[in-house]
Amino acid sequence: MAATKSKLEIEEFLKAINEFRKASRKKTGSVLKQVGKLVVRDAMSLTPPNTKGTGLVKEGKPAWAVHKKAGEGAIVNDLLGKGGRGGIFRVRKQATFNKAAKWQEKLGKDMAGMAHSMWATKDGRVFGVESDMYQPDASISTMKHHHKKYRGANGRVSRAGREDLRIGRWVFLDKMFVTPGRFKAYMKHLKKRVGKGKGGWNRAANALKTSRPKWIKQHGMRSGRVRVSVDHPIFPTIMISNEISYMQKHGYKNGIMRKAINSQTSNLKQRTEDAIKFAAQKSKLKA
C-alpha cells in the first residue's frame, strides 16, 4: 500500500500485516481490505481540517463534527482575522453605512483621495476606504475576487493586505466593508468547500467501504486514485492516493500517509498479540 509522489518505508508495516494474517488465520485479501479501510480512515482524518489531538483515533470514527467546525472556524479567521492574520473583511451594520453616507456628504471630495468615508473620531481622524472596498451590497463574485487576491496555494489567507495608509488626519482602511447579510451569504458559499482536501480520499474510501460524513462525500471522487488487487496470486496490493495538488504538498510535509501507516502498524501488532492470546486460551480450553 503506497501513496504516489512520495516513497514510504513500509517494511515494518508489511511484516505486521503478515504476522497478523498468520496469527488470525485470515486470508491475505481479507486482511488487506481491513487494514486498507483503516489506513484510509486515518489518512482522511489526518488531512485538514482537524484539530490537535483529533487527527488519529485508536478505534471508532474520527471526530468529524469537530473537524468540520475547525474548517469553518479557519474560514472565519481568514476573513475577519486572528492569530497573526489581520483579516480582509470588516462587517458593519447597515446603520454604519447610513452614517457613512452622511459623513461622505458632509466632508465632500476633499479627503486626500479617499473615495468613501466610514466614520470619524473625536480627535478629528477620519477613517475611510477606497471605492472598491465600500461594498454594503457586495455580490458573492465581488467578495470572491477580493478574497482570491490574498489566498495562498493552500487556499488559506497568507497575507492581510497592505498596512492602513495614513495621510494627515485621513486613515485609509485596507479591508472590504460589508453588511452582516452579505458576509453570511459569502460564508454559506465558502462552507461548501470545507472538507475538499479530505475529499481527495473519497475514491479510496468508496472502494474500501470507509465511512465518512456527507460534507466530505459531497466533493466527489475526481481527486483521488485507488487500485485494489487483493486477489493477485503473487503480489496482492492496495494502492491509494490523494491527487489534490496542495494536499500532496501538505501531506508530504506533514507525513499524513506515514502517520496513518505507523498508526495501523501499531494497531496490527496489538491485534496480533490479542489473536495469539486468544488462540492460546482456546487451546487450553480444548485440552
Q: In one letter, which amino acid is 130?
A: E
Across residues 242-269, what is the average pLDDT? Answer: 88
Half-sphere exposure of 253 (CA within 13 A, CB side): 9
For the chain, what are the domain ranges?
11-70+195-286, 81-191
DSSP assignment of the chain, as one string? ---TTS----HHHHHHHHHHHHHHT--HHHHHHHHHHHHHHHHHHHSSS--TT-S--SSS---HHHHHHHHHHHHHHHHH-BTTB--SEEE--HHHHHHHHHHHHHHTT-STT-SEEEEE-TTS-EEEE-GGGB-TT--HHHHHHHHHTTB-TTSSB----SPPEEETTEEE--SEEE-HHHHHHHHHHHHTTTTTTGGGGHHHHHHHT----HHHHTT-STTEEEEEETT-SS--EEEEEE--HHHHHHHHHHTHHHHHHHHHHHHHHHHHHHHHHHHHHHHHHH-
Asked if pLDDT for residue 44 goes beyond 50, the answer is yes
Query: Across residues 254-273, what is the average pLDDT?
Result: 94
CA gap 283, 79 in Å, rounded: 63
| Side-chain half-sphere exposure of 168, counting CA atoms within 13 A | 8
Residue among 187, 185, 162, 178 nearest 76 (CA): 187
Predicted confidence at residue 251, as pLDDT, reads 74
Average pLDDT over residues 16-39: 95
Residues 189 and 145: beta-carbon distance below 8 Å: no
What is the structure's pLDDT at 267? 95
pLDDT confidence of residue 266: 95
Most confidently predicted of 86-95, 105-114, 146-155, 259-268:
259-268
The predicted pLDDT at position 285 comes to 64
Share of the chain above pLDDT 90, in %: 53
Please say if the pLDDT value at position 83 is more than 80.
Answer: no
Per mean pLDDT, which of 57-61, 65-69, 234-238 is the most reliable? 65-69
How does residue 124 score in pLDDT terms, banded at 50, 70 and 90?
low
Q: What is the pLDDT of residue 169?
A: 67
Task: List, in order, residues 6 or more apart from 167 with CB less than 8 Å away.
Answer: 112, 113
Band (pLDDT 50/70/90 cuts) for residue 163 is low
**Residue 227 to residue 39: CA distance in whole angstroms:** 14
Q: Any idea of the CA torsion for 90, 194, 72, 3, to the nearest 10 degrees? A: -120
Q: HSE of 254 in the Cβ direction (CA atoms, 13 Å)?
A: 14
pLDDT at 3: 44
**Long-range contact set of residues 211-219: C-beta below 8 Å, sequence gap at least 24:** 211/41, 211/61, 212/41, 212/44, 212/64, 213/64, 213/68, 215/64, 215/68, 216/44, 216/64, 218/192, 219/195
- Kindly state the average pLDDT of the residues 237-261: 87
Residue 138 has pLDDT above 80, yes or no: yes
Q: Average pLDDT for residues 227-239, to the nearest whole number?
A: 91
